[in-house]
Chain A
Amino acid sequence: MKFLRICNARKIWSCVKHKGDLMAFSTNKSLLSKISVGDEIGWEEFYRNYAPLIWLRGGDLNLSTGEKQDLIQDVMLTMFTSAGKFKYDREKGRFRDYMRTIIDRRGVDIMRRRDKAIRIGEDIGGIKDVLVSPGQDDRWISEWRDHILNQALVELKSALEPITYQIFELYALKGWEPARVERFLKVRKSSIYTAKCRAVDKLGEIVRKLESEQ
């Protein structure tokens, strides 16, 4: 099978570690097509994009560390088996909601496996309580927003001149004083503010684009 031939855990991990050098994100539609045919780059991209989000959602469902790893794996398996059948239609619903459904269903499966006394098919008060507890929707929206922002940051790096991005990284993200940035990068103070403006404007543009695609 193509995926097993090309899927080597160590090779993929080394690619995931060097994520900054990989291509910019595919759209959801193209990513789903890639993973449905076992495309290695598609899998790396899916893991890079979505594993932290799935991990955080697992925390909301009170899963243990090992269970959260299982959750990532189970969601990826689900995407692999259903990606070919899934037709991404923005009219029918947001990709964000589709992802949540998949993650929550796999999370419930893990919770059921954990409690061997529970038979499959029964309404489980405890599990339902976790899924509908106050704040779940807000937490998901916040986690999705973090996911979008991290995607935007990767795109921003490709979209800006290297020096502009470096200034933005040091001044805006790391909070260095302008004088320190000046000395370190050997740039004028005025260019620090110009670079920051440019980066923030571009960031806003990318975030709006990503939100509209979801």
Chain B
Amino acid sequence: MKHTDRETLERYVSGDLSALRKIMIARHLKNCQACSRLQAEIKTGNELVDSLRKARNTYMDFEKDDKAAAVFSSLETCLGASRMKKQESN
């Protein structure tokens, strides 16, 4: 039995194959455990990429506003105050 290579399975999972090729691969997958496992791995990988895309969009929304400058300039003041307190108590 000739197995399906990974690139072809990637194309199959993403729908980037002709109708006839899709039918042939679907038939093969029914009878081939190794290729079915590889198909499942590809789908798991795609789920990871979907999660990554959402996570990146969440962080990009955070980065749109200029928060860092405000945080760091306040931080500098607070650190100065806490350092002076420490020096006074020593």
A214 part of interface (Cβ distance < 8 Å): no
A95 part of interface (Cβ distance < 8 Å): no
A3 part of interface (Cβ distance < 8 Å): yes
Given the interface pairs A52-B59, A193-B7, A197-B6, the reply to whether A4 lies near B53 with Cβ below 8 Å is no
Given the interface pairs A4-B79, A73-B78, the reply to whether A13 lies near B69 with Cβ below 8 Å is yes
Number of B residues, CB within 8 Å of A: 35
Chief secondary structure at chain B's binding surface? helix
A150 to B68, CA, bound (A): 18
A55 part of interface (Cβ distance < 8 Å): yes
Interface string of B53-88 (1 = CB under 8 A from A): 111101100110011111111111011101100000
Q: What is the size category of the interface that chain A forms with chain B?
A: 35 or more
Beyond contacts A51-B71, A69-B74: 19 other A-B pairs, Cβ-Cβ < 8 A, are A4-B76, A4-B80, A7-B75, A7-B76, A9-B72, A13-B66, A52-B59, A52-B62, A69-B70, A73-B75, A73-B78, A81-B82, A147-B55, A149-B52, A149-B55, A149-B56, A203-B45, A204-B45, A207-B48
What are 6 A-B interface contacts by the 8 Å CB criterion?
A1-B83, A7-B72, A9-B69, A73-B75, A196-B10, A200-B48
Q: Which residues of A contact B (CB under 8 A)?
A: 1, 3-4, 7, 9-10, 12-13, 16-17, 47, 51-52, 55-56, 69-70, 72-73, 76-77, 80-81, 145-147, 149-150, 152-153, 172-173, 178, 190, 193-194, 196-197, 200-201, 203-204, 207
